[in-house]
A = this chain, B = another copy of it.
């Protein structure tokens, strides 16, 4: 058993943050490496979290008038090379389909059949703007067809050399919204409406505080007028871009001829937006909340809200405890909670505690013979929801079995809030106002968000990135206007922006 424990031990965050993350993902069976380099397998524990994320987001998209559709996986090469013709040294890492048949090849074995070469190679979609707007050009005729508010849940592929489970993989899952409007005012309204949905989802569901703001020209989506984003801080002080909402202006409308006839009969180009979040959010969630014991999942996104661990010493006790534990499971499940009763005989209660903590189940309910007599169970939240009392090693709450669903729901609510508060406190403790560039160069090593003045020039931005690997995460909406001087060149600045190293 000792050996088994060692194999399953998780590297601590302070030992090696990156290895800790990988250990948590693999040991909690969230994902695994696949036989294809750079592609991951999302295991049931990870996928259940993604399903809950999808459900919450999809509900918010639909409430605001969006509908789902599905567009092809493949994009004709010419759609992407339009862009390339104007760009010197163009190169795009992507999966290129060149043949449509496998067959026997000369000299034995199997390979792409030489007589099956495609006239035009196909690209596996890295994002779907081009193929979707080719359809919009066909569908949109009149102002009556606007706004067109579509979303797609799909897989996309970007050939990545250095990959990390959930955070950066060759294939990942995401949603991409694509809307078309009659006026820029309306499309900008859409951009900010979606960003607000992303912010609410991150903060209220994932319990991850985020900054909202605008990307600099160097960091924005190449096809956009403006890219807005939500940015979160991980426990190593690095930033993670958790979602983007783009104001595309009329750029794509002009390239793909997406036009409408207005009320006066004149033809105008549409104003468009696109926006997306991906399975990367799972990586963010893990990096923000989890600890050296393993995964921590916020209750609102958990598939399993509580695990019941029965405790007994003999067969008589077992029968009595299991009967009450089963009834408890039934009542809690009936109230809409995801409940597991771990009645395995082959492992000890302590082993079970560790295993369910590793998997991030929000609350453990322990129930023994004395609890049964007193009509209670002991609830242990995965992370304390209050300051520990004197002498307490872990928070333990005694819950009356009578009214257990309400008690447990209240505890889950507290836990959701506690996780958010803890993450917010961490971010505040690792956010700095800084004016001196030499100081910044030294301090950036310890991680965190640095609020600094910047003149707005690409040159200063590039210099900082070269010298410190820090990028401007966003020009935050919430920053006060405050005159100052660029920390690099001293030129005037109107507000501080946020620098950090990022995933």
Residues of B close to A353: CB separation below 8 A: none
**A462 in contact (CB, < 8 A):** no
| A72-123 with Cβ < 8 A to chain B | 72-77, 79-81, 84-85, 89-104, 109-113, 116, 121-123
Does A224 have its Cβ within 8 Å of any Cβ on chain B? Answer: no
A280 to chain B, nearest CB (A): 14
* Beta-carbon contacts under 8 Å, A58-75 to B: 67-75
Q: How far is the CA of A51 from the CA of B66 in the complex (A)?
A: 14
Tell me whether A101 and B92 are in contact (CB under 8 A): yes
Number of copies of this chain that the complex holds: 2
Contact A74 B92 (CB under 8 A): no
Are A73's CB and B155's CB within 8 A?
yes
Give A68's nearest chain B residue, CB to CB: B47
**Shortest Cβ distance from A226 into chain B, in angstroms?**
26
| A96 contact set on B, CB distance < 8 A | 97-102, 112, 116
User: Would you call A134 an interface residue if the criterion is a C-beta within 8 Å of the partner chain's C-beta atoms?
Assistant: yes
Of the candidate stretches A9-17, A34-42, A174-182, A329-337, the one touching chain B is A34-42
Contact between chains at B92 and A69 (CB < 8 Å): no
How far in angstroms is the closest Cβ of chain B from A413? 26
Asked if A146 is at the interface of the complex by the 8 Å CB criterion, the answer is no
Which residues from B are CB-within-8-Å of A51?
A: 68
Out of B73, B76, B112, name the residue touching A98 (CB < 8 Å): B112
Are A84 and B97 within 8 A (Cβ)? no
Q: Is the CB of A92 within 8 A of B99?
A: no
Indicate if A173 sits at the interface (CB-CB under 8 A): yes
Partner of A171, one of B73, B101, B102, B112: B73
Question: How far, in Å, is A151 (CB) from chain B's closest CB?
Answer: 10
Name which residue of chain B comes closest to A134, CB basis: B35
- For residue A123, which residues in chain B have a CB less than 8 angstroms away from its CB? 102
A window 455-488: CB within 8 A of B: none
Q: Are A122 and B36 in contact, CB atoms less than 8 angstroms apart? A: yes
Distance (whole angstroms) from the CB of A43 to the closest CB of chain B:
6
The answer to whether A75 and B112 have CB atoms under 8 Å apart is no
Residue of B34, B97, B102 near A135 (CB, 8 A) is: B34
- On whether the beta carbons of A101 and B110 are closer than 8 Å, the reply is no
A95, A154, A157 pick with most chain B CB within 10 angstroms: A95
CA distance A68 to B5 in the complex (A): 28
Closest 3 CB pairs of A and B: A81-B110, A39-B72, A42-B70
With A73-B124, A74-B171, A101-B159 already in contact, 8 other A-B pairs whose C-beta atoms are closer than 8 Å: A34-B131, A36-B74, A51-B68, A77-B111, A80-B110, A81-B110, A92-B101, A94-B102
